[in-house]
Amino acid sequence: MTNRDRVRVIFHGGVVLLVGLLCGYPAVAEAVAGDESMRLWHTAHEGLMMAGILLFAVSSVLPSLALGRREASGLFWSLLATAYGLTTGLVLQGIIGAGAFGPGRSPATMIAFAGNATGIFGSMVAAALTVMGAWSALDDAR
């Protein structure tokens, strides 16, 4: 993976981290008001902060992975799918005030579900490609 791709992962990690930090405001405001959707904003706040930090962490190990061009591209795009899928899903859950862990009846719930599913699938692909790249780098080192 090129240094440009690594910097792009860092940039997108910062964007997602910023959105996660901003989701902390509704969580605090709703906690004061006693609203039940506070839990969803709290989840968005923590989940997106973790997703941003995940992108920072993975970007630091990218130079150590032995991946082909297609696999490196797949890792890059799966990281972005994870970050922005979860951003869409978790923020929409906070806005609509309902969890979206299955298809719902409203368009907003369906979009939130699709975002969550994209984020989950992207994270699994990213983890698998990271393991593949590390395994390949270990083989190359032997």
- Report helix, strand and coil shares of the chain as percent, to nearest 5: 85, 0, 15
Amino acid at 36: E
As a whole number, mean pLDDT of residues 11-26 equals 92
Q: Where are the domains of the chain?
A: 3-141
Is it the case that residue 35 has pLDDT exceeding 80?
A: no
Q: What is the pLDDT of residue 50?
A: 95
Q: What is the pLDDT of residue 112?
A: 95
Helices 3-22 and 69-96, packing angle to 10 deg: 10
As a whole number, mean pLDDT of residues 9-36 equals 83
Please write the tens of the pLDDT for every residue from 78-126.
999 999 999 999 999 999 988 888 888 899 999 999 999 999 999 999 9
The string of DSSP codes covering 85-100 is: HHHHHHHHHHHHTS--
Please write the tens of the pLDDT for every residue from 61-85.
999 999 999 999 999 999 999 999 9
Q: Mean pLDDT check: name the lowest of 28-37, 41-50, 103-112.
A: 28-37
